[in-house]
């Protein structure tokens, strides 16, 4: 009976209506979902209840990793102590922990790096162990020493391992001694071109010739054969002499199109060590990882085993205990070379957990207590595929990501989707401040195959609601759907190679553009129809708007498109350019999510804003599009409206991001040349030099060193 | 008056244009009635005497002429200025095909200065009037036509406006005026002035009975400015609209000030400095579309309850309804509010964040967003029902009350009270702004306006103290003592006579351990308990539940009946 009714109402065949209804059911609970924190993590392994570890652990970190550690502690029945800075006093990790201690003011040097305050917190709370997370004090041997002196367990490797691996030269020597592949090169100084050729032949092409005193790319040449080596030697030595006054040269193997692949190792204090497979972390911007996956598409079992065994050799060589990561560069011929070892839990550890089923934090805690490893190498599986996207509060349109700050006015993690894990330390209402890393969360999806995991990632990114800060979901979604990424043909140069002119957002093809315009038009009509539905009895009767056909004009950028919409039941048919787009969906104007079925395909759009003047901002395929929908009449009349002249931006310098002014190099009256540095803004560990776009005289300076500025704040005016 | 000279100069232009149009017409009709002598007098005689077909023709002709306003050339000139014509504006403002025009045939009655000539007569004169619908709801509209004598106001023009205002009053429906007028029709002299006064009187009589909205879309100078000033809301279009009593030329000759039209009475001036206009929009189209949106918040008259809209378009479909998310439901929790108020009471936060999070669809139509920003006022919906929102803005001047914010708040509260719109007040106020500028400016009598407005209001009043409610400002901000229906405090609320530091300096003057005393004071008073134990707040609520509570209360208070003692009218301290 009910089914018949729907079928009738929607004037559509029962099966198709059912399908749509099911779609609505699938998405309906999305909006009512609750905070991420309570959700059971999907990597949990059953801990052995009889194994007593610690009563109380202090987590010397903040944000998502602190929350991550607390989750495992809760599972293991361990009391937790959070430390926090004053601005973090209502942060999620503080709320999650059993106890919390404020260790200082907002700057990290005064709080999360403040060893004295953290040692005090340990004494006051009686914590028996400390988990340092990553960053901050996680690889600080001084901190580890101070803990040892007080008899508090450090959940991580021993001091000497931290020290040995912390030094780049020493770690390379140790690695070499442990028979780990290091980048082949000639350690001595090369005297003549012929000697250079000889050495290059020994190393194997391609090689890199670089100045011993070099840096910044100067005096550096890549040679692929003997001839280029001779030439390179000549140029490099000249350049080195003129640049550094030192013409000594080194030769090293050049790794072309390198991939960054790392091996997770886990070792105990009894000399046992395991490798937990690899993580592919090649997608990077400015040497920071953006998308990681496990396993790598590139490794075969033989290479994997070889890398794993070498990683374990290195771990054993430094008597490593706890979880650690050995990073390798892998060239196109699957030669791999040791880069460095990270003696801590990595940001991207969840993907290893997903494919191995191990809880790394739990293992770290066990090992720190002195237990032996529970597993043998044969127990370590690769189950399926896991992908991690680092969701950052940053603007991907500015050099693949400049930090952005703000308050998360709306925030919904896509946790209702199956096999999605979100590691985050924030919630709706949280502030992303300039003091800390701008990471919002780590979004992890997994599946039996890579394609499945990637498909889920697409869904998860589309369902992720983040408002109040600019975020990098547009870039993430482009990366994971890019044919080169999907085919696994990636390297650390992926981003600059794929987007040589910088990231520009999703480029719409004709079909997709039609879908977007149709969706915007339908949303506009839904809002119009709703505006005509006044409830209750009215003294002056309303004239019902009985319309089922509309003519609209939709603008996207410079482009204008006439569309005709007709509505039958709950299905909208949008006609434009002779093509028809059928849109069906639960058009809830209050929801940020807009689940639509467009021409039979389910799409999750997001509506960011909708104003009276017809401007609708939609997130479609990850990217934000500003669409303007006007009635045909309004669109015609709109041609009479004058273009408002926007501010001349060449003579004003605005802060591209929030941060602190480090230096101002000009004063009013100075003449600056094009490209001359005007001031330096530091934001989130990065110094950004802002330069003049034209030659001009400085009219006024609106900032001074030490000042905090917001995005778009006026810094300097030129004449 | 500068504006009037605008009118005059455009008159000349129009006359010239009219002549050329006439000659075209003549040729056309020449074919029909070749024998008729070529004078208009004779021609009309003939039409008068012959069959009713020619009357019909004349009707059509007049209607056509009315639709053309001042003629194609003037229309093009209007477009070149980035402005739409009076009729285009009406078309855009109202639902398609809903406009019912009145007085299309009215012509001015001036017989001086050659105005009696046929070429100086335009059917409908310089204003388009009538009624129509906005989203199906009735509204009366007048739209001044700048293409006819520069939109100048003649006796007939005023009469047309008065007619629809009278109708709007009898029916009980709002009046929207689209102003674009050079000023009085000089040729008519005192008749024009009388026309203004007739409109003013009706504005005053309609005030508080039906909502009146003015949208200034061109010049509006001299006496003409008082009609928008008397209406409930005045909106402007950026760069093309001006409001001033006297133009820059007169200002120069009287006070020797050099000032441009834009500086003197442009949208920016009136929305940021003078507070004359309530909002400004980029251009005609955006202004009209926003006006449609704004209209949705208003009841048709003071006899109607606050408007309630269906929450979603599909709500009529019961089966789909149950499938649609809960995020618009009245019992939705808003977890982001739990940590919005910073722990340090000196730190600012944005009251708009709270408002957006609480109201339906984050849709808040702010009134005067750029004037007296230390108070936020505007319309929103709770569970579909229109509410007026007043909130102190801690981000600007700590949210203190000063002259401008008091006046801004008071006027808004009175509008809501007049039109049965419940008022929700968010309080975070450290007090009234001290200083000579304020005292000399009369903060006492201006502050009293806000107090007066809240006290006399009989609509449902719900108050939420989010943080500070200090001193007299606490009383003013829709406190329990001023007949607040429901007064809530968040756990972060501090209701006290003043901040701890100041209080301690007075209570413990000369005492050594000031810091300790301060801590004691904070412990005692910097929390919601002193007010709660006395029943001055009804409950201390978790911020996340605020929306839910307000929606429930509004449901109950919908039937609130409260009557002030009979009076001719109150005497608000103006």
- What's the pLDDT tens digit per position in A283-306? 998 778 999 999 999 999 999 999
H helix intervals, B81-236? 86-93, 155-171, 190-206, 226-230
Q: Which residues of B are catalytic?
A: 222-223, 472-473
Any B CB within 8 A of A1 CB: no
Compute the CA torsion angle B314, B318, B323, B326 (nearest 10 deg): 70
| Alpha-carbon separation of residue B449 from A607, A653, B275, B454, B509 (angstroms) | 41, 44, 16, 9, 35
**A516 or A242, which is more confident:** A516
What is the rounded CA–CA span in Å between residue A287 and residue A90? 32
Strands (E), A350-501: 385-392, 394-395, 402-403, 406-407, 410-412, 420-424, 431-432, 439-447, 465-467
Which residue from B378, B465, B386, B370 is spatially nearest to B422, judged by alpha carbons?
B386
The per-residue pLDDT for A403 is 81
The residues with which A56 forms a beta bridge, in sequence order, are A79
**How are beta strands A56-59 and A129-131 bridged, if at all?**
parallel
Q: Who has greater pLDDT, A554 or A38?
A: A554
Q: Higher model confidence: residue A568 or residue B41? A: A568
CB contact under 8 A, B325 and A588: yes
Poorest-confidence range of A34-48, A308-322, B120-134? A34-48
Residues of A in contact with B395 (CB under 8 A): none
Q: Is residue B325's pLDDT more than 60?
A: no
Name residue, tokens 């189209």: B285
∠ CA A355-A360-A361 to the nearest 5 degrees?
Answer: 145
Interval A377-404 mean pLDDT: 91
Cβ–Cβ < 8 Å for A237, A272: no
pLDDT at residue A690 in the model: 80
Q: Average pLDDT over chain B, rounded to whole?
A: 87
Which of A12-26, A281-295, B47-61, B157-171 has the least mean pLDDT?
A: A12-26
A22 and B CB contact within 8 Å = no
Query: pLDDT at position B82, please?
Result: 94
| Mean pLDDT of the region A650-678 | 80
Share of residues in chain B with pLDDT > 90 (%): 71
Interface test with B, best of A34, A550, A637 (most B CBs within 10 A): A637
In A, minimum Cα distance to B338 occurs at A429
Optimal mutation site among B171, B336, B544, interface A, most CBs of chain A within 10 A = B336
pLDDT at A187: 65
Q: Above 50 in pLDDT, residue B212?
A: yes
A/B interface, count of CB pairs below 8 Å = 175
Cα distance between residue A691 and residue A653, in whole Å: 8
**Out of B83, B314, B356, whose CB is closest to A409?**
B356
User: According to the model, what pLDDT value does residue B28 have?
Assistant: 37
Taking CA atoms, A585 is separated from A565, A602, B420, B431, B558, in Å, by 15, 9, 36, 50, 34
Same topology between domain B55-296 and domain B329-493+537-557:
yes
Q: Would you call A539 and B285 a contact, using CB atoms and an 8 Å cutoff?
A: no
Q: Give the pLDDT mean for B329-356.
A: 86
Contact between B92 and A634 using a beta-carbon 8 Å cutoff: yes
Q: Is B33 on the interface with A (CB under 8 A)?
A: no
Using alpha carbons only, how large is chain A's radius of gyration in Å? 29
In chain A, % of residues over pLDDT 70: 90
Show residues of chain A in contact with B351, CB under 8 Å: none
In terms of CA atoms, which chain B residue is nearest residue A522?
A: B313
Q: With a CB-CB cutoff of 8 Å, which residues 125-154 of chain B face chain A?
A: 133, 135-138
Q: Can you say whether residue A679 is alpha, beta or left, with left for phi > 0 and alpha for psi between -120 and 50 degrees?
A: beta
Look at A539 and A695; give whichever has higher pLDDT: A539
Q: May I ask the CATH architecture of the domain B329-493+537-557?
A: Alpha-Beta Complex (3.90)
Cβ–Cβ of B301/A527 closer than 8 Å?
A: no
Q: Rounded to an integer, what distance in angstroms lies between the CA atom of residue A96 and that of residue A87?
A: 16
Question: How confident is the model over A202-257, as pLDDT tens digits?
Answer: 888 888 887 766 555 566 788 888 888 888 888 888 777 776 777 777 788 888 88
**For B289, which of A9, A90, A612 is closest by C-beta distance?**
A612
Residues of A within 8 A of B281 (CB-CB) are 613
What does DSSP assign to residue B565? Answer: P
Distance from CA of A89 to the nearest CA of B (A): 9
State which residue of chain A sits closest to B314, comparing Cα positions. A587
ipTM of the prediction: 0.86
Q: How far apart are CA B135 and CA B293, in angstroms?
A: 9
What tens digit of pLDDT does each residue of A264-277 get?
A: 999 999 999 999 99
* Angle at the Cα of A354 from the Cα atoms of A349 and A357, rounded to 5 degrees: 105
B468 closest CA partner among B393, B402, B534, B521: B393
- Contact between residue A361 and residue A138 where contact means Cβ atoms under 8 Å apart: no
Q: What is the DSSP string of A635-673?
A: HHHHTTSPPPPPP-GGGEEE-SSSEEEEEE---TT-EE-
Question: How many Cα atoms are found within 13 Å in the side-chain-facing hemisphere of B367?
Answer: 29
pLDDT at site A30: 37
Q: Does B289 touch chain A (CB under 8 A)?
A: yes
Contact A640 B82 (CB under 8 A): yes
For residue A640, which residues of chain B lie inside 8 Å, CB to CB? 79, 82-84, 284
Query: What is chain A's mean pLDDT, rounded?
Result: 86
Would you tell me which residues 386-415 of chain A have a C-beta closer than 8 angstroms to some C-beta of chain B?
407-411
**What is the band of B79 on the pLDDT scale with cuts at 50, 70, 90?**
very high
Instruction: Say if B361 is an interface residue toward chain A (CB within 8 Å).
Output: yes
Q: A-chain residues within 8 Å CB-CB of B286?
A: 612-613
Say what the pLDDT of residue A21 is. 43
Q: Is A613 on the interface with B (CB under 8 A)?
A: yes
In chain A, % of residues over pLDDT 90: 56
Between A659 and A418, the more confident residue is: A418
What proportion of chain B, given as a percentage, has pLDDT over 70? Answer: 87
Residues from chain B contacting residue A31 (CB–CB below 8 Å): 325-327
* Res. A141: pLDDT tops 50: yes
User: How many CB atoms are closer than 10 A to CB A579?
Assistant: 12
Q: Which residues of A are catalytic?
A: 344
Q: Choose between A310 and A166: higher pLDDT.
A: A310
Q: How far from chain centre, in Å, is Cα B529?
A: 39
What is the pLDDT averaged over residues A342-358?
94
Averaged over A655-684, what is the pLDDT?
A: 79
State the pLDDT at residue A540: 86
Topology of the domain comprising B55-296: 2-enoyl-CoA Hydratase; Chain A, domain 1 (3.90.226)
pLDDT of residue B267: 95
A interface mutation test: which of B97, B131, B339 has the most A CBs within 10 A?
A: B339
Query: What helix, strand, coil percent values describe chain B, rounded to 5?
Result: 45, 15, 35
CB contact under 8 A, A21 and B84: no
Mean pLDDT throughout A581-601?
A: 87
Is B523 an interface residue toward A (CB < 8 Å)? no
For A3-52, the pLDDT digits (tens) are 333 333 333 444 444 444 444 444 433 333 333 333 334 455 555 566 88
List the single best residue of A543, A567, A611 to mutate versus B (max B Cβ within 10 A): A543
A700-704, B49-53, B439-443: segment of lowest average pLDDT: B49-53
* Confidence check: pLDDT of B321 > 80: no
**Domain layout of chain B by residue ranges:** 55-296, 329-493+537-557
Phi-psi region of A23 (alpha: psi -120 to 50; beta: other; left: phi over 0): alpha
pTM of the model: 0.84
Residue B51: pLDDT band (50, 70, 90) is low
For A628, nearest residue in chain B (alpha carbons): B286
Q: What SS3 state is found at A679?
A: strand
CB-based contact (8 Å) between B83 and chain A? Answer: yes
Q: A606-656, pLDDT tens digit by residue?
A: 999 999 999 999 999 999 999 999 999 999 999 999 887 766 667 788 887
pLDDT of B361-392, one tens digit each?
A: 899 999 999 999 999 999 999 988 999 999 99
Confirm or reject contact between A634 and chain B (CB < 8 A).
yes
By Cβ distance, the residue of B239, B284, B300 closest to A539 is: B300
Are B360 and A543 inside 8 Å of each other by CB?
no
With a cut of 70, say whether residue A478 has pLDDT above it: yes
Does the pLDDT value for residue B539 go beyond 90?
A: yes
Q: What is the average pLDDT across B524-547?
A: 93
């Amino acid at each position: 009976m009910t089914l018949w009714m729907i079928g009738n109402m929607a004037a559509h065949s029962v099966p198709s209506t059912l399908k749509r209804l099911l779609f609505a059911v699938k998405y309906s609970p999305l909006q009512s979902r609750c905070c991420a924190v309570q959700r059971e993590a999907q990597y949990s392994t059953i801990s052995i209840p009889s194994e007593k570890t610690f009563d109380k652990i202090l987590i010397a970190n903040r944000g998502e990793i602190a929350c991550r550690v607390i989750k495992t502690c809760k599972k293991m029945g361990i009391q937790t102590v959070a430390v926090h800075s004053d601005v973090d006093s209502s942060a999620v990790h503080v709320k999650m922990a059993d106890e919390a201690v404020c260790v200082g003011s907002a700057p990290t040097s005064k709080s999360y790096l403040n060893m004295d305050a953290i040692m005090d917190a340990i004494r006051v709370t009686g914590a028996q162990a400390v988990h340092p997370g990553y960053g901050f004090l996680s690889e600080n041997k001084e901190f580890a020493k101070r803990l040892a002196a007080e008899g508090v367990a450090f959940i991580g490797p021993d001091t000497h391992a931290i020290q040995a691996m912390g030094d780049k030269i020493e770690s390379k020597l140790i690695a070499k001694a442990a028979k780990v592949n290091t980048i082949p090169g000639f350690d001595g100084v090369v005297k003549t071109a012929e000697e250079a050729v000889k050495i290059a032949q020994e190393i194997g092409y391609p090689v890199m010739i670089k100045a011993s005193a070099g840096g910044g790319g100067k005096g550096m040449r890549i040679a692929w054969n003997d001839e280029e080596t001779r030439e390179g030697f000549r140029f490099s030595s000249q350049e080195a002499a003129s640049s550094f006054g030192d013409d000594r040269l080194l030769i090293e193997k050049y790794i072309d199109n390198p991939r960054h692949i790392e091996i997770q190792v886990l070792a105990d204090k009894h000399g046992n060590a395991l490798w937990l497979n690899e993580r592919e972390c090649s997608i990077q911007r400015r040497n920071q990882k953006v998308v990681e996956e496990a396993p790598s598409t590139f490794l075969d079992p033989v290479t994997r085993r070889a890398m794993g065994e070498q990683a374990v050799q290195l771990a054993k060589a430094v008597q490593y205990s706890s979880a650690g990561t050995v990073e390798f560069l892998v060239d196109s011929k699957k030669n791999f070379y040791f880069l460095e070892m990270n003696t801590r839990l990595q940001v991207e550890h969840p993907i290893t957990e997903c494919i191995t089923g191990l809880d790394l934090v739990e293992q770290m805690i066990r090992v720190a207590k002195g237990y032996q490893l529970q597993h043998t190498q044969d127990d370590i599986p690769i189950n399926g595929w896991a992908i991690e996207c680092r969701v950052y509060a940053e603007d991907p349109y500015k050099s693949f990501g400049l930090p952005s700050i703000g308050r998360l006015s709306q925030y919904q993690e896509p946790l209702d989707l199956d096999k999605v894990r979100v590691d985050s330390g924030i919630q709706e209402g949280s502030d992303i401040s300039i003091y800390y890393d701008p990471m919002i969360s780590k979004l992890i999806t997994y599946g039996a195959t890579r394609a499945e995991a990637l498909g889920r990632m697409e869904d998860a990114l589309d369902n992720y609601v983040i408002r109040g800060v600019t975020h990098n979901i547009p870039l993430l979604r482009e990366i994971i759907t890019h044919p080169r990424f999907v085919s696994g043909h990636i390297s650390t140069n992926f981003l600059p190679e794929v987007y040589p002119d910088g990231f520009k957002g999703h480029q719409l093809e004709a079909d997709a553009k039609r879908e977007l315009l149709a969706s915007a038009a339908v949303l506009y009509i839904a809002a119009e129809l709703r505006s005509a539905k006044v409830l209750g009895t009215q003294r002056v009767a309303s004239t019902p708007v009985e319309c089922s056909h509309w003519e609209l004009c939709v603008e996207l950028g410079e482009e204008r498109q006439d569309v005709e919409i007709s509505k039958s039941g709950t299905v909208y048919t949008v006609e434009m350019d002779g093509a028809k787009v059928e849109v069906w969906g639960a058009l809830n104007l209050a929801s940020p999510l807009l689940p639509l079925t467009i021409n039979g395909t389910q799409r999750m759009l997001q509506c960011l804003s909708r104003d009276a003047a017809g401007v609708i901002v939609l997130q479609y395929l990850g990217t934000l599009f500003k669409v303007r929908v006007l009635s045909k009449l309004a669109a015609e009349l709109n041609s009479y409206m004058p273009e408002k002249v926007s501010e001349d931006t060449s003579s004003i310098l605005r802060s591209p991001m929030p941060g602190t002014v480090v230096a101002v190099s000009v004063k009013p009256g100075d003449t600056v040349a094009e490209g001359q540095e005007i001031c330096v803004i530091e934001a989130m560990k990065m110094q950004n030099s802002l330069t003049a776009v034209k030659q001009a005289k400085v009219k006024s300076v609106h900032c001074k060193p030490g000042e905090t500025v917001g995005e778009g704040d006026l810094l300097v005016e030129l004449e | 008056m500068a504006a009037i000279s605008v009118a005059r100069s455009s008159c000349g232009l129009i006359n010239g244009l009219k002549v050329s149009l006439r000659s075209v017409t003549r040729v056309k009709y020449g074919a029909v009635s070749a024998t008729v002598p070529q004078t208009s007098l004779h021609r009309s005689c003939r039409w008068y005497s012959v069959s009713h077909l020619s009357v019909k023709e004349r009707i059509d002709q007049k209607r056509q002429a009315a639709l053309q306003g001042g003629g194609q050339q003037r229309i093009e000139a209007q477009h070149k200025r980035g402005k739409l014509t009076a009729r285009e504006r009406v078309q855009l403002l109202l639902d398609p095909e809903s406009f019912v025009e009145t007085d299309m045939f009215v012509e001015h009655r001036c017989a001086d200065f050659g105005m009696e000539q046929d070429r100086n007569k335009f059917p409908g004169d310089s204003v388009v009037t009538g009624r129509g619908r906005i989203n199906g709801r009735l509204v009366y509209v007048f739209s001044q036509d700048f293409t006819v004598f520069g939109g100048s106001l003649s006796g007939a023009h005023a009469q047309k406006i008065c007619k629809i205002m009278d109708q709007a009053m009898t029916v009980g429906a709002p009046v929207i005026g689209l102003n674009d007028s050079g000023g009085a029709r000089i040729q008519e002299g005192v008749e024009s002035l009388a026309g203004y006064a007739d409109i003013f009187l009706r504005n005053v009589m309609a005030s508080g009975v039906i909502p009146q909205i003015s949208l200034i879309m061109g010049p509006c100078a001299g006496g003409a400015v008082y009609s928008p000033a008397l209406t409930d809301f005045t909106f402007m279009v950026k760069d093309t609209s001006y409001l001033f009593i006297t133009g820059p030329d007169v200002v120069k000759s009287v006070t020797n000030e050099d000032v441009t039209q834009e500086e003197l009475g442009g949208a920016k001036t009136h929305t940021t400095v003078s507070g004359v206009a309530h909002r400004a929009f980029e251009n005609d189209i955006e202004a009209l579309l926003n006006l449609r949106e704004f209209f949705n918040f208003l009841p048709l008259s003071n006899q109607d309850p606050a408007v309630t809209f269906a929450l979603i378009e599909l709500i009529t479909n019961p089966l789909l309804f149950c499938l649609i998310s809960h995020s618009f439901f009245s019992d939705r929790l808003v977890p982001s509010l739990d940590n919005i108020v910073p722990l340090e009471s000196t730190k600012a936060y944005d009251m708009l964040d709270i408002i957006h999070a609480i109201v339906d669809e984050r849709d808040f139509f702010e009134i005067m967003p750029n004037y007296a920003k230390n108070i936020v006022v505007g319309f929103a919906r709770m569970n579909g029902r229109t509410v007026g929102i007043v909130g102190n803005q801690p981000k600007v001047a700590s949210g203190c009350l000063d002259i401008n914010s008091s006046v801004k708040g008071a006027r808004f509260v009175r509008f809501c009270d007049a039109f049965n719109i419940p008022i929700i007040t968010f309080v975070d106020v450290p007090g009234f702004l001290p200083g000579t500028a304020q005292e000399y400016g009369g903060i006492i009598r201006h502050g009293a306006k806000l107090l007066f407005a809240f006290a006399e209001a009989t609509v449902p009043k719900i108050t939420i103290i989010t943080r500070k409610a200090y001193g007299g400002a606490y009383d003013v901000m829709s406190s329990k003592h001023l007949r607040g229906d429901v007064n809530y405090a968040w756990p972060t609320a501090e209701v006290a006579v003043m901040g701890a530091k100041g209080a301690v300096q007075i209570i413990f003057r000369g005492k050594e351990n000031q810091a300790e005393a301060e801590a004691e004071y904070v412990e005692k008073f910097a929390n919601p308990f002193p007010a709660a134990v006395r029943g001055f707040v009804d409950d201390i609520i978790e911020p996340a539940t605020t929306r839910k509570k307000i929606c429930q209360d509004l449901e109950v208070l919908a039937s609130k009946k409260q009557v002030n003692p009979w009076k001719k009218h109150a005497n608000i301290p103006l």
